[in-house]
């Protein structure tokens, strides 16, 4: 029986995507060969790559606006370095909203001067700093839109004239925002877009080519753009499965359609956290993430009972990250409302038992 | 009907590997979740990663000899940079045996001084240079064991006291050699080991930590080793499928067992190339690759006939690389002898027709 999968990433994918992707491993397109044993230069795969790139721009509303989409390897962790390599000439400003922001800062600092414009480290990152200044002579500003570990999410992005770079690994394609306010968006696929193994990078072309450093080829966005996202052999399976997931999202009404479902799921989840006296939310209310709800038991003695009830109900992967503790329900695009209903039911059943 | 798949990479994988890998997409280990939607920190996946790492060392005969195996992202193209970042202090020596060696040289040159110890560029890389000197005060020596595009293969590796680094992307696990003569071996998975999307790096730990440069985390072998090859989310599907392929290789008698089959296939292929007057081999005989046989028609007018006969026989992906032309039969570990027989039969049928 299929479980209710609240995994924070790699995470749930639509069942129909899994089915198509599984079939392609045995035979792709009826051509007598597996998807993973054909050349990445074959028409079959080039079509997949081009469709994935086009779908990404279309779903973000960035078609015809000077952006290119790339499916690279190496995860957000590689982007921490690539962003700085491609954009950092003198100094950049970073917003520190948690573990992943901090890593982005650390890697960029190896290359040049980084200024932390604001940080919520003083409260274990349970909120999003607001009202900070972004100096207009910096090379770029970097932020993390959603903090998977802490369950916070930036609702209003700051206004600035310098290039804005955003790590959207855990909430890309989940909500309607003006994606054209960003110059680089990057996201590991394994949360809202596909399996682990590829990273979407959306780059506004005209911000490139302005640094004096020699950029190694594999780190150079221009090289990847020039090669149509095939500078070297791409991660075929991860790109194909991401393409299927983006296609599924389009069929659900795109970002507009999925946002409505995501809001329903988040409302249900947070109202249970707020109304049930046995639970308390971790993140500041106004900064709560619609993707990752973090919460704790008010009485730790109930942990064993709650955990066994969760297990019985087929609810999987709701344990919190070690730096926050408690529980975390990750409600990515592919998670059905019914899974949230099942979790909320167990929470309310615990209340009636206690 | 399954084709005879001579693709140069991504390339043929064992049918039983494809089957298991396809099943794992729907449900892994009967646990009600897909392999690609569980956490990479789950016991299920950690076990897969550890088994893959152990199998790699076991099959190369490197267990207990101070080596660690890593499954990274980014392909050989990333290793061109990482090798130099981790080992290059003053100067390194590179053997240039073709397009991939040249790329490795280009990337390393961005960091520091590189000396080409020898090159076969003068004959479009149709042979392996021999008898060159490797200065003993260099940081390391780098070579490419097998040249996929040109169909050459190093049979005897030079002796040197400095660290030896080898790009084995297209012939790792295919033949019995003393793998402990190398200090770093790297290989993109998509030829002899698995699908595109992961790169095996085998590192002798005691050569690390000797350069003065600050190494970005994602480029630092030490960081990856310290994190058990999970510094960031690994490419789950590619690692799993590689593990299955290595397990399949072990069941075939390991490198010793597969070498015997690979030699049979190569002997059959090259004897047809040599005996059939309609074909001529591209690579120097003593340097011929057992993995990629490159050959041309002696009479280009027969191309159309030959191509349609190949298609009829279900023979796929034998077109040569544009920089060599003609044909290329890639005979990686998973290619059955029967596929080579089918190709040779078509070649000999062409002779009887012509």
Q: Among B11, B106, B235, select the one facing A235 at the smallest CB separation.
A: B235
The angle subtended at Cα B171 by Cα B306 and Cα B295, nearest 5°, is 25
If one counts every other C-beta atom within 10 angstroms of the C-beta of residue A21, the result is 27
Chain-chain contact of A217 with B77 (C-beta, under 8 angstroms): yes
Chain B residues in contact with A240 by the CB 8 A cut-off are none
CB within 8 A of A195, min separation 6: which ones? A10, A13, A189, A237, A238, A241, A242, B36, B37, B236, B237
Chain-chain contact of B22 with A23 (C-beta, under 8 angstroms): yes
SS3 of chain A: CCCEECCCCCCCCCHHHHHHHHHHHHCCCCCCCCHHHCCCCCHHHHHHHHHHHHHHHHHCCCCCCCEEEEEECCHHHHHHHHHHHHHCCCEEEEEECCHHHHHHHHHHHCCCEEEEEEECHHHCCCCCCCCCCCCCCCCCEEEECEECCCCEECCCCCCCCCCEEEECCCCCCCCCCCHHHCCEEEEECCCCCCCCCCEEEEEEHHHCCCCCCCCCHHHCHHHHHHCCCCCCCCCHHHHHHHHHHHHHHHHCCHHHHHHHHHHHHHHHHHHHHHHCCCEEECCCHHHECCCEEEEEECCHHHHHHHHHHHHHCCEECCECCCCCCCEEEECCCCCCHHHHHHHHHHHHHHHHHC
Q: Which residue of A70, A73, A110, A239 is the best one to mutate when testing the B interface, meaning the one whose CB has the most B CBs within 10 A?
A: A73
Chain A residues in contact with B233 by the CB 8 A cut-off are 9-10, 75, 188, 190, 196
Tell whether B270 is within 8 A of chain A (Cβ): no
Tell whether A14 is within 8 A of chain B (Cβ): no
Quote the pLDDT of residue B354. Answer: 79
Tell whether B188 is within 8 A of chain A (Cβ): yes
What are A61's two structure tokens? 């509303």
CB A332 within 8 A of CB A323: no
Q: What is the pLDDT of residues B282-299, one digit of tens each?
A: 999 999 999 999 999 999
Q: What is the pLDDT of residues B300-329, one digit of tens each?
A: 999 999 999 999 999 999 999 999 999 999
Chain-chain contact of A237 with B197 (C-beta, under 8 angstroms): yes
Tell whether A43 is within 8 A of chain B (Cβ): no
Tell whether B234 is within 8 A of chain A (Cβ): yes
Q: Please determine, for the modelled complex, whether the ipTM score is greater than 0.90.
A: yes
If one counts every other C-beta atom within 10 angstroms of the C-beta of residue B327, the result is 23
pLDDT band at B197 (very low <50, low <70, confident <90, very high): very high
If one counts every other C-beta atom within 10 angstroms of the C-beta of residue A300, the result is 10
- Residues 248-267 of chain A with CB under 8 A from chain B are none
Name residue B153's beta-bridge partners.
B146
DSSP B286: G
Quote the pLDDT of residue A186. Answer: 98
Quote the pLDDT of residue A20. Answer: 98
Quote the pLDDT of residue A2. Answer: 82
Element (H, E) at B203: strand B199-204
CB B205 within 8 A of CB B67: yes
Q: Among B13, B31, B38, select the one facing A37 at the smallest CB separation.
A: B13
Tell whether B106 is within 8 A of chain A (Cβ): yes
Nearest to A117 by CA among A135, A101, A102, A103: A135
Q: Which residue of B39, B213, B223, B321 is the best one to mutate when testing the A interface, meaning the one whose CB has the most A CBs within 10 A?
A: B39
Quote the pLDDT of residue B203. Answer: 98
CB within 8 A of A226, min separation 6: which ones? none
* DSSP helix/strand/coil, B200: strand
**Residue range B206-232: mean pLDDT, rounded:** 97
Chain-chain contact of A32 with B107 (C-beta, under 8 angstroms): no
B167 catalytic? Reply is yes
pLDDT tens across the length of chain A (354 residues):
689 999 999 999 999 999 999 999 999 999 899 999 999 999 999 999 999 999 999 999 999 999 999 999 999 999 999 999 999 999 999 999 999 999 999 999 999 899 999 999 999 999 999 999 999 999 999 999 999 999 999 999 999 999 999 999 999 999 999 999 999 999 999 999 999 999 999 999 999 999 999 999 999 999 999 999 999 999 999 999 999 999 999 999 999 999 999 999 999 999 999 999 999 999 999 999 999 999 999 999 999 999 999 999 999 999 999 999 999 999 999 999 999 999 999 999 999 987
Chain B residues in contact with A317 by the CB 8 A cut-off are 38-39
Q: Among B23, B76, B232, select the one facing A75 at the smallest CB separation.
A: B232
Tell whether A319 is within 8 A of chain B (Cβ): no
Mind telling me the catalytic residues of A? Answer: 100, 167, 191
Burial annotation B194-210 (CB, 10 A radius, 16+ → b, else e) = bbbbbbbbbbbeebbee
Chain B residues in contact with A32 by the CB 8 A cut-off are 1-3, 314, 316
pLDDT band at B2 (very low <50, low <70, confident <90, very high): confident
Chain-chain contact of A74 with B75 (C-beta, under 8 angstroms): no
> Residue B166: is its pLDDT beyond 80?
yes
CB B263 within 8 A of CB B239: no
Quote the pLDDT of residue A96. Answer: 98
Domains and CATH numbers, chain A: 15-251 (3.40.640.10), 255-353 (3.90.1150.10)
Q: Among B9, B218, B238, select the one facing A235 at the smallest CB separation.
A: B238
State the smallest CA–CA distance between residue A159 and chain B in angstroms.
Answer: 30
Quote the pLDDT of residue B56. Answer: 98
Chain-chain contact of A36 with B232 (C-beta, under 8 angstroms): no
**Residue range B132-139: mean pLDDT, rounded:** 97
> Residue B1: is its pLDDT beyond 80?
no
Among residues B68, B171, B183, B191, which one is catalytic?
B191
The angle subtended at Cα B300 by Cα B296 and Cα B304, nearest 5°, is 105
CB within 8 A of A281, min separation 6: which ones? A151, A270, A273, A274, A288, A293, A294, A295
- Residues 58-97 of chain A with CB under 8 A from chain B are 73-78, 80-81
Q: Which residue of A48, A85, A197, A241 is the best one to mutate when testing the B interface, meaning the one whose CB has the most B CBs within 10 A?
A: A197
Q: Among B2, B188, B237, select the one facing A238 at the smallest CB separation.
A: B237
Q: Which residue of A29, A216, A230, A332 is the best one to mutate when testing the B interface, meaning the one whose CB has the most B CBs within 10 A?
A: A216
Q: Which residue of B8, B10, B100 is the best one to mutate when testing the A interface, meaning the one whose CB has the most A CBs within 10 A?
A: B10
Chain A residues in contact with B22 by the CB 8 A cut-off are 22-23, 25-26
Element (H, E) at B144: strand B141-144
Name residue B152's beta-bridge partners.
B147, B288
Which residue from A minimizes the CA distance to B34? A18
> Residue B233: is its pLDDT beyond 80?
yes
Among residues B68, B100, B171, B220, which one is catalytic?
B100
Tell whether A178 is within 8 A of chain B (Cβ): no
Quote the pLDDT of residue A149. Answer: 97
Quote the pLDDT of residue A354. Answer: 79
Size of interface A-B (CB pairs under 8 A): 191
Element (H, E) at B201: strand B199-204
Tell whether B129 is within 8 A of chain A (Cβ): no
Chain-chain contact of B7 with A39 (C-beta, under 8 angstroms): yes
Nearest to A148 by CA among A123, A175, A168: A168
Which residue from B minimizes the CA distance to A85? B216
Tell whether B317 is within 8 A of chain A (Cβ): yes
Tell whether B107 is within 8 A of chain A (Cβ): yes
Among residues B139, B167, B183, B247, which one is catalytic?
B167
């Amino acid at each position: 029986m299929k479980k209710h999968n609240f995994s924070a990433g790699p995470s749930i994918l639509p069942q129909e995507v899994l089915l198509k992707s599984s079939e392609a491993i045995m035979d792709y397109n009826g051509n007598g060969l597996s998807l993973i044993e054909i050349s990445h230069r074959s028409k079959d795969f080039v079509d997949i790559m081009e469709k994935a790139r086009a779908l990404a721009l279309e779903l973000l509303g960035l078609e015809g606006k000077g952006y290119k989409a790339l499916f690279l390897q190496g995860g957000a962790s590689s982007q921490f370095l690539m962003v700085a390599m491609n954009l950092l000439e003198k100094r950049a400003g970073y917003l520190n909203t948690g573990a992943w922001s901090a890593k982005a800062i650390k890697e960029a600092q190896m290359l040049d001067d980084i200024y932390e414009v604001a940080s919520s480290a003083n409260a274990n990152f349970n909120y999003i700093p607001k009202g900070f200044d972004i100096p207009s002579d910096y090379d770029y500003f970097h932020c993390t839109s959603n903090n998977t570990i802490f369950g916070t999410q930036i609702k209003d992005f700051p206004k600035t004239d310098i290039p804005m770079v955003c790590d959207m690994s855990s909430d890309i394609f989940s909500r309607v925002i003006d994606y054209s306010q960003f110059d680089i968006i990057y996201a590991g696929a394994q949360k809202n877009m596909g399996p682990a193994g590829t990273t979407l990078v959306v780059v506004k072309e005209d911000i490139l080519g302005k640094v004096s450093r020699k950029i190694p080829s594999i780190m150079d966005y221009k090289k990847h753009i020039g090669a149509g996202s095939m500078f070297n052999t791409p991660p075929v399976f991860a790109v194909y499965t991401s393409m299927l997931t983006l296609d599924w999202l389009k069929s659900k009404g795109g970002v507009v359609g999925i946002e409505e479902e995501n809001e329903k799921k988040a409302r249900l989840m947070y109202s249970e956290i707020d109304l049930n006296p046995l639970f308390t939310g971790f993140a500041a209310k106004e900064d709560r993430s619609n993707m990752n709800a973090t919460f704790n038991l008010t009485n730790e003695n109930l942990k064993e009972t709650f955990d066994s009830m969760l297990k019985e109900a087929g609810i999987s992967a709701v344990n919190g990250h070690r730096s926050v503790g408690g529980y975390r329900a990750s409600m990515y695009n592919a998670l059905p409302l019914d899974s949230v209903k099942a979790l909320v039911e167990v929470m309310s059943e615990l209340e009636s038992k206690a």
